[in-house]
Amino acid sequence: MMVRQLRQNVEGATIVEFAIVLPLFMVFLVGILDIGQMVYGKSVLTGAVHRAARASANETRNVTQADASVLNAIRPILPGVTIESSRTSYYDFSDIGRPEKWNDANGNSICDNNEVYTDENRSGEWDEDVGKQGSAGDANDVVVYKVTASFEPLFKVPFLPARWADRTLSATAVVKNQPFGNQTDYGSTAGSCP
């Protein structure tokens, strides 16, 4: 008889249901806010990188000002954000990701065994990427501008591993510098691979 009375008694059932549902709802809500911050941050970062790349493709090529404009644009969305930027310049679009030319005598796709190469980017050694690292480029050069933003999210999802606490977003823009002067051609000095 007592069991039947307990089954029929519904007083307090709402508070128990609420106590069961609330933690799941809060995790879900915080997760949505966390994803929203990342998506919005990625959108703002991408726009800021594209604007900065276009602005630095002019004759001034002020890379410090470009990095500062990206940081100023993203800081309100991702408080405490730090950015790292890189630039690689190429003579033409078709050169992006291309290795320097070399005589691959042994056919292993690696410059080794004293194979002769052409130091096209004037770095003094054979490079797998012909681009000039850290360079804003010369007139008419193609520049790949990449920014990586690291931040700690505002909305931390409970019960998730600590390694998920720090987030990283990145954006890349490819622009061609304005033709404000003569474009510097690739180098033609020969060298030997180690």
Are 144 and 95 in contact, with CB atoms under 8 Å apart? no
The residue among 172, 174, 190 whose CA lies nearest residue 90 is: 174
Q: What are 141-188's pLDDT values in tens digits?
A: 999 999 999 998 888 776 666 656 788 999 999 999 888 777 778 888
The residue among 77, 121, 74 whose CA lies nearest residue 99 is: 121
Q: What are 100-147's pLDDT values in tens digits?
A: 888 888 888 888 888 888 888 888 888 889 988 888 888 889 999 999
Return the SS3 of 113.
coil
Domain of residue 91: give its range: 2-192
Number of domains the chain is built from = 1
Q: Residue 150: in which H helix or E strand, if any?
A: strand 142-151
Phi then psi for 155, rounded to 5 degrees? -110, 105
Q: What are 59-106's pLDDT values in tens digits?
A: 667 888 999 999 999 999 998 999 999 999 999 998 998 998 888 888
Q: Is the pLDDT of residue 30 over 80?
A: yes
Are 145 and 53 in contact, with CB atoms under 8 Å apart? yes
Phi then psi for 115, rounded to 5 degrees? -70, 145
Q: Specify the pTM.
A: 0.79
